[in-house]
Amino acid sequence: MRTKLHVAGRPLPYSAPLSSQQVAIRVGEKQKKSKAHTDQKRGATAVSFACGSYVRVKKPGILPKAQCKFSRPLKVMEKRGQYTYLLSDGQWWNASHLTPASLQGKESDNELLPLDFEATPAIPAVPQPVQHTPHTRPVRLRRVPEWTKNVVVK
């Protein structure tokens, strides 16, 4: 082999074969380094919810205009893995599907009230009759065409 360096005839450096445990450790270190670099470049933050806090689950798919994108608030019952949570509905969810929910802090009839909830009166107000005015379309003002002035109609 010809190169700018004279390596012909030199023995290759010998490295002892690595055991499967050493390979696994080395791969793990490289993966951690790659993850740290990617998280730093993308601005990723670790999401964590405490047990007893309230979260909302993002509904999948495209929803109609009137529907909320998130479920009603659910309580975090248990944390199983780094990003896996058991909610009060009995299902396990990944943290990527969850968002924190701010609540008033009281529960009534198993229904949670958000902070911006305004109490509605117990007696509904009497609806006022709505006055409807008929809509009339505007009339188009047209000129008489010029060519009709010279035509004699019998």
Give, for all 154 residues of the chain, the pLDDT tens digit.
566 776 667 777 777 788 899 999 999 999 999 999 999 999 888 888 999 999 999 998 888 888 899 999 999 999 998 899 999 999 999 999 999 998 755 454 445 545 544 445 555 567 777 777 777 888 888 888 888 888 776 6
Instruction: Give residue 108's pLDDT.
Output: 46
Structure-token match 């000129």, residue found: 143
Cα separation values, 73 from 77, 91, 103, Å: 13, 14, 8
With CA atoms as reference, report the closest residue to 117 among 72, 75, 59, 55: 72
Residue 76 CB: number of other CB atoms within 10 A? Answer: 19
Q: Give me the pLDDT at residue 40, please.
A: 92
79, β-bridge pairs: 85
Residue 122, pLDDT score = 53
In this structure, are residues 76 and 52 in contact, taking their beta carbons and an 8 Å threshold?
A: yes
Tell me if 74 sits within 8 A of 97, measured CB to CB.
no
- Tell me the two tokens of residue 80: 């199983």
